[in-house]
Amino acid sequence: MLRQLVMHAPRLFNYTSRRLAHGGCGQILITRAYSSAAMSPPSKAIVYDVHGPPDTVTKLVEVPAVEVKEKEVCVKMLAAPINPSDINRIQGVYPVRPNPPAVGGHEGVGEVLSVGSSVTSLSPGDWVIPSPPSFGTWQTYIVKNENVWHKVQKGVPMEYAATITINPLTALLMLEHCVALNSGDAIVQNGATSMVGQCVIQLAKSRGIHSINIIRDRPGVNEVKEMLKNLGADEVFTESELEVKNVKSLLGGIPEPALGFNCVGGNAASLVLKFLRQGGTMVTYGGMSKKPVTVSTSSFIFKDVSLRGFWLQKWLSTDKAEESRGMIDRLLSLVQEGKLKYKMELAPFDDFSAALDKALGKLGSQPKQVIKF
Ligand SMILES: NC(=O)c1ccc[n+]([C@@H]2O[C@H](COP(=O)([O-])OP(=O)(O)OC[C@H]3O[C@@H](n4cnc5c(N)ncnc54)[C@H](OP(=O)(O)O)[C@@H]3O)[C@@H](O)[C@H]2O)c1
């Protein structure tokens, strides 16, 4: 059940409203009294008025219809994920975030409902994603400029189109741009169950690059290991399995990795560093444990490790929008060919709160929650 339903007074058009006899929650019906051609339908959105814990500050609101101007496109949203960065934006701890009140969500897929009079690149019925990803995808209708939207093939499963612009793109970019890798090389990563981690495994495999994967200890660990190995993981270790003197003795025939990915921090980052070869590089792109990365003095002096960071938003802001659309098309082709997959759970919009609780980790490890509108 949704936590709260409120009504925002329509500002931009004449309307009539009446209270529902049995609707509860003070819900109001809006009857539009204007030509629908140039207006969006009213939208339902998950918004937050202040920063704070997402499960207390988010609420469902009804947003009035807005005008679809000549260069704008009205999109009926189909699906949008709940990503860790969405949670951080609501908490107010993400460096780039909209000022509240704001609609949550940052990526997703929708179907074009109507277009403004000057729009030439899109037509009603097209499937589109905001590319680069942008604010406010947790709502049923969005009106934005034509150039915000990137058309995608309709044959792609909706949940993949909804999730392709952030995590799979991050995996692809980190593999292609951080350190030159050749077939036969190896990478090591923690957070291997994450969407980024699952993509790293498959994209590395497709280039003949071995992956060594670190996951948290959990119930049902063998199923998780099997799932990752089915995606192409060479080795999967829990953190406790790596409490040995020489982790490299566990590598068998896999070469020592030149590149490591860290999205966890704390002990899990130290384990990535332990696997790295002389002169190796660890790229930090997330901090799921909220613990700092600690590097031993000897790792710097005797192993000469390099530490770097990666942030998709920064990469996209350096004039890479067009290039990123090409990469997204490439990733969606891999999805269509069955060469890229990852675990997701579709959650009905009406049950947003339950999906949010799962995304917040309240029920333990869960697949990526994707809201279906
Ligand atoms: N820098 C960038 O540009 C960029 C771009 C995309 C994503 N990211 C970051 O990449 C990371 C993964 O994102 P995603 O969307 O792929 O993740 P996701 O699919 O939502 O999965 C969450 C991952 O975090 C792990 N996790 C959750 N809480 C944890 C904790 N307290 N300690 C350790 N691990 C924990 C989960 O492990 P379990 O399976 O054990 O629960 C799972 O692997 C996030 O930190 C995200 O912010 C960064």
289, 368: one domain: no
Please give all residues whose beta carbon lies within 6 A of any atom in ligand 1, as ranges. 83-85, 166-167, 170, 191, 193-197, 215-216, 218, 263-264, 285-286, 288-289, 310-312, 361, 365, 368
Are residue 161 and residue 241 in the same domain, yes or no?
A: no
CATH of the domain at 350: 3.90.180.10
Choosing from 194, 291, 342 the residue with most ligand 1 atoms within 8 A of its CB, the one to mutate for a pocket test is 194
Domain assignment present for 112:
yes
CA–CA distance, 47 with 153 (Å, rounded to integer): 30
- Together in a domain, 122 and 192: no
Q: Which residue of 96, 193, 263 sits with most ligand 1 atoms within 8 Å of its CB, as the best mutation to test the pocket?
A: 263
Report the nearest-CA residue for atom 25 of ligand 1.
191
Cα–Cα–Cα angle for 211, 214, 220, nearest 5°? 115
Q: What is the pLDDT of residues 91-117, one digit of tens each?
A: 999 999 999 999 999 999 999 999 999
Instruction: Please say if the pLDDT value at position 183 is more than 60.
Output: yes
Same domain, 133 and 266: no
Computed over every residue of the chain, the mean pLDDT equals 91
Question: Could you tell me if 86 and 192 lie in one domain?
Answer: no
**Which residue has a Cα nearest atom 6 of ligand 1?**
167
Q: Answer yes or no: do 160 and 171 share one domain.
A: no
Whether residue 120 sits in one domain with residue 253? no
> What are the tokens at 32?
């539009």
Q: What amino acid is encoded at 348 in this protein?
A: P
- Whole-number pLDDT of residue 318: 83
Nearest residue to 234 (alpha-carbon basis) of 200, 278, 284, 268: 200
Q: Please give the model's pTM, rounded to 2 decimal places.
A: 0.92
Adjacent-strand bridge partners of 16: 31
Active site residues: 94
Residue tagged 């919009």 (tokens) = 349
Confidence at residue 91, expressed as pLDDT on a 0 to 100 scale:
98
Number of domains the chain is built from: 2
37: pLDDT confidence band, cut at 50, 70 and 90?
low
Amino acid at 264: V
In this predicted model, what pLDDT tens digit does every residue of 250-283 receive, in sequence order? Answer: 999 999 999 999 999 999 999 999 999 999 999 9
Encoded amino acid at 293, one letter: V
Which residue in this structure is represented by tokens 């490299």? 248
CA–CA gap between residue 358 and residue 254 (Å, rounded): 36
CATH of the domain at 206: 3.40.50.720
Looking at residue 29, its pLDDT comes to 34
Domain that residue 220 falls in: 167-313
